């Protein structure tokens, strides 16, 4: 028996790669299964191209736009977004995705500190991956999930670590949104 799925534009989370080594390549492959829009910042493009995947959008300094158009001719069609000198690549990538009506974004980040910047985009669902951890933006301030004993959660920006002692429903609430981290590697 087979199943057929119709994938519509922006139905699946876009994948923003600002750190190609944030999680293992096997985990990246899982994020690629549904063929998301792939946005890559310039510093990571060589690694991403070595994976043999098609890149949809590249964020580059405006001064290097022409050079990258030539280098990426085999990736056509690709959108190359020039980065203004007063913006950082992460902001430019998120702004591009917001203009493209992305409903959800998976992002591979350099540091956990970048999570605070992403709260500006809380109108979309965001999963961020940093150093082998998946960080979920819990905009409602309430997280509830069945977990196994000894599961570890990190809360950011509070820097709290919570270890679940026994199998069952884990509930964590705050009066504001927060980032919840779970180890993935």
Q: Are 137 and 125 part of one and the same domain?
A: no
Check residue 85 and give its pLDDT: 73
Q: Which domain holds residue 160?
A: 132-185
Q: Are 45 and 124 part of one and the same domain?
A: yes
Q: Are 98 and 163 part of one and the same domain?
A: no
Q: CB of 167 within 8 A of CB of 148?
A: yes
| pLDDT tens, N- to C-terminus, the chain (185 residues) | 444 444 445 578 999 999 999 999 999 999 999 889 999 999 999 999 999 999 999 999 998 888 998 988 888 899 999 998 777 999 999 999 999 999 999 999 999 999 999 988 988 999 999 999 999 999 899 999 999 999 999 999 988 999 999 999 999 999 999 999 999 86
Check residue 2 and give its pLDDT: 40
The neighbour count for residue 30, using CB atoms within 10 Å, is 12
Q: Pick from 129, 149, 177: which residue ends a domain?
A: 129
Q: Compute the distance between CA of residue 36 and CA of residue 123 in angstroms, rounded to an integer.
A: 19
Q: Into how many domains does the chain fold? A: 2
State phi, psi for 71 to the nearest 5 degrees. -60, -30
Q: Are 113 and 157 part of one and the same domain?
A: no
């Amino acid at each position: 028996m087979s199943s057929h799925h119709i994938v519509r534009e922006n139905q699946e989370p876009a994948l923003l790669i600002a750190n190609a080594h944030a999680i293992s390549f096997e985990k990246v492959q899982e994020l690629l299964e549904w063929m998301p829009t792939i946005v890559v910042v310039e510093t990571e493009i060589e690694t991403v191209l070595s994976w043999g995947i098609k890149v949809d959008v590249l964020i580059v300094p405006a001064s290097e736009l022409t050079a990258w158009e030539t280098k990426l001719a085999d990736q056509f069609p690709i959108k190359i977004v020039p980065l203004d000198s007063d913006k950082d690549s992460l902001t430019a990538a998120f702004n591009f995705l917001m203009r493209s009506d992305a409903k959800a974004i998976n992002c591979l980040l350099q540091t956990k500190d970048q999570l605070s910047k992403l709260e500006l985009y809380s109108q979309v669902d965001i999963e961020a991956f940093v150093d082998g951890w998946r960080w979920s933006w819990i905009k409602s301030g309430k997280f509830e999930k069945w977990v196994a004993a000894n599961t570890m959660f990190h809360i950011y920006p509070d820097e709290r670590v919570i270890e679940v002692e026994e199998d069952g429903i884990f509930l964590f609430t705050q009066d504001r949104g927060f980032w919840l981290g779970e180890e993935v590697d």
